[in-house]
């Protein structure tokens, strides 16, 4: 439905049947990059929602959902759209580039965090904060987005290093006390220095091993209905953290990795002369139409066109 209707807004729970909410967002962004995504989260899953930062989620609503909570998020999204629409095309392009730069820097800092490179992390995290101040001139927005970023790196650190003291990391109450840009900056760098300090004392390589094991598992079970929920259960990590870690280690999201593997297998089967519907089932796509859409988007031909062009050559 997202693919067919290209909605302005999608509101999704973290836990939904068949695919988790974060994987849904990753997959949908391939088709509708301008759609605003809002995450609904139960109290015990509230940390998951904050980790949706790397996916560009526009807001999260903790349960129980109320009209006021929903209106608050929708009003903020509407304001952002109006600001973008009212701005000149050159200004809009500049803002988009700054947002893209911020996303890239945040992803890089996460990767450096999982690679345990304290010096490079320190430098990149500093760039994140500098860019954040440009992207979010409003104090409330800056406080909120800075807190989300600090929670992201703090949660990853404590997953990687259980010995890290969570009390030394980001606190919502403390962040709310920061009443100026200078105070927000000072508080953020204090937390980031603590993260850097912990990195210097933690040098095990467990993350790389875990992701390699999961990639081997995906290679063997790509034709099955697998998702991040199942993978996170296998390695006893929460889904949102695994999503960030997988991207940092593999260089791409879980969805992109699985899609690339399935399409590689699909091309081989089509060359062997299998029917398109058979190939769809064999590589894990129960929805034939979705398989054809994905194939055309990534390969540039429909599965039938690809099959015809390659089987005719072989004969």
> What are 54-78's pLDDT values in tens digits?
566 777 777 788 888 888 889 888 8
Domain 206-314's class? mainly alpha
The pLDDT of residue 215 is 87
Q: pLDDT-based confidence at 282, cuts 50/70/90? A: very high
Q: Which pTM value belongs to this model?
A: 0.47
The pLDDT of residue 69 is 84
pLDDT higher than threshold 60 for residue 99 = yes
Every domain of the chain and the residues it spans: 1-86, 88-203, 206-314
pLDDT higher than threshold 80 for residue 315 = no
Kindly report whether the peptide bond that precedes residue 64 is cis, defined as omega within 30 degrees of 0: yes
Q: Please tell me the least confidently modeled range out of 5-14, 231-240, 294-303.
A: 231-240
Q: Which helix (H) or strand (E) holds 104?
A: helix 89-114
The pLDDT of residue 53 is 57
CATH, range 1-86: 3.40.50.2300
Q: pLDDT-based confidence at 84, cuts 50/70/90? A: low
b/e for 105-132, b at 16 or more Cβ within 10 A? bbebbbbbbbebebebbbebbebbbebb
* Dist CA 315 CA 312 (whole Å): 5
> What are 158-192's pLDDT values in tens digits?
766 655 556 667 777 888 888 988 999 998 888 88
Q: Quote the tokens at residue 267.
A: 């091309």
Q: For 222, list phi and psi in degrees, rounded to 5.
A: -60, -25
The pLDDT of residue 101 is 87
Q: Is 9 helix (H, G, I), strand (E, B) or coil?
A: strand
The pLDDT of residue 65 is 83
Q: What is the mean pLDDT of residues 99-117?
A: 82
CA-wise closest residue to 271 among 308, 297, 222: 308
> What are 128-142's pLDDT values in tens digits?
999 988 888 888 888
Q: Whole-angstrom distance between the N-terminal and C-terminal Cα of the chain?
A: 40
Tell me if domain 1-86 and domain 206-314 are identical in fold: no
Q: pLDDT-based confidence at 203, cuts 50/70/90? A: very low
Q: What is the mean pLDDT of the chain?
A: 80
The pLDDT of residue 50 is 54
Contact between residue 216 and residue 225 where contact means Cβ atoms under 8 Å apart: no
Q: What is the torsional sign of CA 196, 200, 206, 211? A: positive
Q: Residue 50, Cβ neighbours under 10 Å: how many?
A: 21
* Dist CA 138 CA 176 (whole Å): 14
Strands across the sheet with 36-41, in order? 9-13, 36-41, 59-62
């Amino acid at each position: 439905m997202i693919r067919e209707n290209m909605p302005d807004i999608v509101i999704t729970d973290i836990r939904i049947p068949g695919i988790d909410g974060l994987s849904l967002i990753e997959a949908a962004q391939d088709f509708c990059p301008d759609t605003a995504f809002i995450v609904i989260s139960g109290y015990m899953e509230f940390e998951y929602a904050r980790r949706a930062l790397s996916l560009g989620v526009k807001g999260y609503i903790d349960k129980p959902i109320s009209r006021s909570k929903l209106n608050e998020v929708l009003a903020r999204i509407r304001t952002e759209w109006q600001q973008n629409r009212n701005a000149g095309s050159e200004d809009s392009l500049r803002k988009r580039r700054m947002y893209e730069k911020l996303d890239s820097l945040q992803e890089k800092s996460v990767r450096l965090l999982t690679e345990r490179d304290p010096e490079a992390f320190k430098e990149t995290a500093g760039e994140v904060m500098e860019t954040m101040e440009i992207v979010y001139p409003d104090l409330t927005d800056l406080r909120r987005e800075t807190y989300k970023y600090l929670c992201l790196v703090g949660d990853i650190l404590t997953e990687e290093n259980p010995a890290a003291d969570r009390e030394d990391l980001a606190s919502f109450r403390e962040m709310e006390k920061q009443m100026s840009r200078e105070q927000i900056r000072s508080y953020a760098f204090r937390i980031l220095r603590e993260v850097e300090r912990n990195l210097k004392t933690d040098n095990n390589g467990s993350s790389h091993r875990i992701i390699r094991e999961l990639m081997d598992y995906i290679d063997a079970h790509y034709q099955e209905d697998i998702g991040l929920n199942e993978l996170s259960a296998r390695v006893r990590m929460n889904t949102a953290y695994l999503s960030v870690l997988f991207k940092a280690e593999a260089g791409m999201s879980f969805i992109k990795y699985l899609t690339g593997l399935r399409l590689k297998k699909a091309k081989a089967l089509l060359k062997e002369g299998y029917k398109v519907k058979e190939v769809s089932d064999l590589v894990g796509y129960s929805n034939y139409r979705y398989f054809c859409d994905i194939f055309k988007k990534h390969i540039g031909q429909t599965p039938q066109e690809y099959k015809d062009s390659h089987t005719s050559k072989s004969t």
